[in-house]
Structure 1
Amino acid sequence: MAAEKEVKPHEGHKPLVMDESKQEEPKKMVKPPRSFWRRNWTTLDKRVAYIILFVHLLCIFAPFQFNWSAFRVTVALIVITGLFGMTISYHRNLAHKSFQLPKWLEYSFAYCGVHCLQGDPLDWVSTHRCHHQFVDSEKDPHSPINGFWISHMMWLFDSYTLTNKVCPKYSSDLKKIERNMFVIFTKHGKPDNVGDLEKQRFYRFIHKTYMLHHLALAIILYSIGGVPFFIWGMCVRIVAVFHSTFMVNSVCHIWGKQPWRTGDLSRNNWLVGLTSFGEGWHNNHHAFSYSARLGLEWWQLDAGWYVIKFLQVIGLATNVKLPSPTHMQSLAMDHKPKDKLF
């Protein structure tokens, strides 16, 4: 069994996870800029908005298409795509390198995350790393300092602003991007903080064929269970995982507790922790962004960590990173020595 790796304070702020530029004073919320609604929406912005609106509207028919088989499929897919895909793969494995997996398992988990409709790995990871680098500042891709709904989901519909925040020094062919109907959640530029993923053919392939994978799953579900499987297995499931994920960006930067001195608005919110497989312990995460474990106390339920721990026990997860007692003590609000948690 591979040993867990305690990370020293200076090791928790490597450029890869981009966690070093914290502000000492928390920011205050301001009203969202009026220009958001008056701006010119690009073809890409409209395409993303139409897809998200379409998926939400189809959920209206869910009560009329309910059956227990469709419900069970939906729950199973929420676990597969939300827990294994979004929480374990996209966030802890790819964005923060909190642990390592064999490539066949890394790619399998990442493919589960593809079906959350939150962007391909290259796009999602680049945005998230930028969030940690500029958390709750004007350069943060999604912060409530510009309003709750901006941080929750409206940031997705402003590709130019997102590009200027995440990859302002890089540009690409705008017309080429907008012609490719299979590339959705993307920016009008080439991010420079995901070079580790861009080197891998698998992630480049997913980026170029992103929407085709959703279409394939929709066809499979419809062929097996008809309209109920499509409505529940695709639409209801996507909406549920979508909002549970983005509540971390919005709710967990407004409501909750701050046991750690992170210098930002991040909060621990137990309700979001329950709905997002442990991601709601967000102040913990911003304090120790490299940690594979987000629920640092025994009572902080963290389904993502339980899976990672199991994978470590059977030898599949290696180089599992955890905060050291020294690092925890240095960031604790009460400045009191803390017992070793691991």
Structure 2
Amino acid sequence: MTVAKPQKLALDWTTTLWLVGLHLAAALAFFPSNFTWAAVGVALVFHWITGGLGITLGWHRLISHRSFQVPKWLEYFFMFCGTLSCQSGPIDWIGMHRIHHKYSDTPLDPHDSNKGFWWSHVGWMLHEIPIKVEVSKVTKDIADDPVYQFCNKYFIPIQVVLGILLYVLGDYLVGNGLSFVVWGIFVRVVAVYHCTWFVNSATHQFGYRSYESGDDSLNCWWVALVTYGEGWHNNHHAFQYSARHGLRWWEVDLTWMTISLLKALGLATKVKLPPEDAKPVSAS
């Protein structure tokens, strides 16, 4: 009996060169002339805007899983914040994430953790993944929206415009516009990239399991720290529809706190949570 060899995937050279270029540009931060404390502050603020409000709250909990609802204008705002993360367009990102949940930790999972840490962290993005053709099938709720289509098509020009604005602001405030671009664009984008990627890689390798989820997802505290609560990944995979990921008192979930604030202000409705009688399989 002949056993078929795993299909060798072709490299996606466009994505590969893009990621290498961004990492090299972020290395400009090591030049003292590109450092100002104001620029570091800009990077931290935009890390929260793009990674916290955009990716974690917007693209993931609000849109990918529809774990709560907000007015359409506010959904567009959070979606736009995610677009500034430059992690492809919202339709493509949300589609690939929904595919991940559909096939979690199986050969059809785009970032199947069984292929190793490197693959699930970044390697999968460097290759042509056949399952990408399913994106259109799982994004029918947003694919025809002109605002989503605009951000999906022009997420790189949008980033360029932000870079120009940061340069002008940095030149005006501290006389060093390049420092704002290096830190506010390149360093911040790369940092948010890796924080997001850790959810695909580290939380399927390190941590503890609280619930049976049918895959290898784990709760990892340090990933939760840098992703505003996304590191409680086993909780999320067990209750994908839940707006709250940190389910124990010590599982700090900053995004859930933000959603709770939106709910108190009357901006978040139909907030979904796990059943009250859901019991962990372990206390470790």
What are the ranges of 5 or more consecutive residues in structure 1 without an aligned counterpart?
1-32, 169-189, 336-342
- Residue in 1 aligned with 2:24? 57
Displaced runs of 4 or more, over 2 A: 33-36
- Residue in 1 aligned with 2:234? 283
Q: What residue identity is the alignment partner of 1:46?
A: W
Q: Does 1:48 align with 2:15?
A: yes
Could you state the TM-score of these two structures normalised by the residue count of structure 2?
0.91
Q: Does 1:146 align with 2:94?
A: no
CA distance in 2, matches of 1:89, 1:149: 26
Give 1:196-207 correspondences, 5 Å limit: 196-207=141-152
Give 1:257-276 correspondences, 5 Å limit: 257-276=208-227
CA distance in 1, matches of 2:203, 2:264: 31
User: Over residues 247-278 of structure 1, what are the superposed CA-to-partner deviations in whole Å (9 max), with x where a residue is unaligned?
Assistant: 01000001110011112110000010101100
- Residue in 2 aligned with 1:213? 158
Output the aligned Cα RMSD: 1.6
CA distance in 1, matches of 2:127, 2:102: 20
- Residue in 1 aligned with 2:206? 255
**Aligned counterpart in structure 2 of residue 302 of structure 1, from 242, 245, 253:** 253
Give 1:165 shift: 1.8
- Residue in 2 aligned with 1:232? 183
Q: What residue identity is the alignment partner of 1:74?
A: A
**Does the 8 Å CA contact 2:209/2:282 hold for their aligned counterparts?**
no
What are the ranges of 5 or more consecutive residues in structure 2 without an aligned counterpart?
1-5, 171-176
**Aligned counterpart in structure 1 of residue 243 of structure 2, from 285, 292, 301:** 292
- Residue in 2 aligned with 1:35? 8
**Does the 8 Å CA contact 1:70/1:232 hold for their aligned counterparts?**
yes
**Does the 8 Å CA contact 1:121/1:207 hold for their aligned counterparts?**
yes
- Residue in 2 aligned with 1:128? 97
CA distance in 2, matches of 1:200, 1:121: 11
Give 1:48-197 correspondences, 5 Å limit: 48-63=15-30, 64=32, 65-159=34-128, 161=129, 164-167=130-133, 191-197=136-142
Q: What residue identity is the alignment partner of 1:59?
A: A
- Residue in 2 aligned with 1:316? 267
Give 1:214 shift: 0.9
CA distance in 1, matches of 2:132, 2:188: 28
Ranked by relative contact order (alpha carbons within 8 Å, sequence separation 6 or more), the top structure is 1
3-state secondary structure, aligned to 2:273: strand
User: Over residues 140-179 of structure 1, what are the superposed CA-to-partner deviations in whole Å (9 max), with x where a residue is unaligned?
Assistant: 01122112111001111213x2xx22435xxxxxxxxxxx
Q: What residue identity is the alignment partner of 2:157?
A: L
Q: What residue identity is the alignment partner of 2:86?
A: L
**Aligned counterpart in structure 2 of residue 333 of structure 1, from 269, 274, 281:** 281
Give 1:208 shift: 2.0
- Residue in 2 aligned with 1:12? none
Give 1:34 shift: 9.0
CA distance in 2, matches of 1:197, 1:289: 19
Give 1:325 shift: 2.0
Q: What residue identity is the alignment partner of 1:35?
A: K
**Does the 8 Å CA contact 1:143/1:253 hold for their aligned counterparts?**
no
User: Over residues 111-158 of structure 1, what are the superposed CA-to-partner deviations in whole Å (9 max), with x where a residue is unaligned?
Assistant: 010011111110011000010010000000112211211100111121
CA distance in 2, matches of 1:166, 1:208: 16
3-state secondary structure, aligned to 2:136: coil
Q: What residue identity is the alignment partner of 2:24?
A: L
CA distance in 2, matches of 1:215, 1:67: 21
CA distance in 2, matches of 1:110, 1:307: 16
Same amino acid, percent of matched pairs: 41
CA distance in 2, matches of 1:166, 1:69: 40
Give 1:75 shift: 0.8
CA distance in 2, matches of 1:58, 1:210: 18
CA distance in 2, matches of 1:34, 1:149: 18
Could you state the TM-score of these two structures normalised by the residue count of structure 1?
0.76
